[in-house]
Amino acid sequence: MSMGLLDAFTALRRLWRQFAGWLHERMPKGLYARALLILILPIVLLQSAVAYVYMERHWEAITDRLSAAVARDVAAVADVYSSFPQDTGHDILSRIAAVDLHMQVTVLGKQPLPAPTPKPFFSLLDHTLTRELTRHLTHPFWIDTTKGSNLVEIRVQLDDTTLQILTTRTQAYASNSHIFFIWTTVASVVILAIATSFLRNQIRPILRLARAAEEFGKGRDVAFSPRGAREVRQAGAAFVEMKRRVERAIEQRTTMLNGVSHDLRTIITRFKLSLALMAPSNEAAEMRKDVEEMEHMVEAYLAFARGDGGETPVKTDIGAIIKDLQIDTQKMGIDARLALSGDPVVVARPASIKRLLANLVGNAQRYGKRIDFTAINDGKTMTIHIDDNGPGIPVDRLEDAFRPFYRLDESRNQDHGNSGLGLAIARDIARTHGGDLTLARSELGGLRATVTLPV
From the list 412, 420, 301, the residue with the least C-alpha distance to 366 is 412
- Decide: 324 and 344 in contact? Cβ < 8 Å: no
Reply yes or no on whether the pLDDT at 256 is more than 80: no
Give the tens place of pLDDT for each residue, 197-225: 888 888 888 888 888 887 787 767 777 88
- 154-168, 296-310, 427-441 — which is least confidently predicted? 296-310
Range 183-190 average pLDDT: 81
Amino acid found at 148: G
**Tell me, what's the pLDDT at 450?**
93
Give the tens place of pLDDT for each residue, 129-140: 888 888 888 889
Task: Identify the band that residue 410 occupies on the pLDDT scale cut at 50, 70 and 90.
Answer: very low
Share of the chain above pLDDT 90, in %: 7
**Tell me, what's the pLDDT at 374?**
92
**Tell me, what's the pLDDT at 230?**
84
Range 117-126 average pLDDT: 64
Domains of the chain: 230-304 (no CATH), 312-454 (3.30.565.10)
Reply yes or no on whether the pLDDT at 413 is more than 50: no
DSSP 391: -
3-state class of 143 per DSSP?
Answer: strand
Nearest-5° angle of CA 139, CA 144, CA 147? 145
CA 182 – CA 429 distance, rounded (Å): 62
**Tell me, what's the pLDDT at 188?**
79
Reply yes or no on whether the pLDDT at 416 is more than 50: no
Reply yes or no on whether the pLDDT at 265 is more than 60: yes
Q: Is 144 left (phi over 0), alpha (psi -120 to 50) or beta?
A: beta
The helix or strand, by DSSP H or E, that contains position 144, with its residue range, turns out to be strand 141-144
**Neighbour tally for 396: CB within 10 Å:** 7
Task: Identify the band that residue 3 occupies on the pLDDT scale cut at 50, 70 and 90.
Answer: low
Range 225-239 average pLDDT: 85
Task: Identify the band that residue 437 occupies on the pLDDT scale cut at 50, 70 and 90.
Answer: very high
Contact residues for 354 (Cβ-Cβ < 8 A; gap 6+): 321
The DSSP secondary structure of 91-111, one letter per residue, reads HHHHHIIIIIS--EEEE--S-
**Tell me, what's the pLDDT at 306?**
59
Task: Indicate the angle between helix axes 282-306 and 230-277, nearest 10 degrees.
Answer: 170
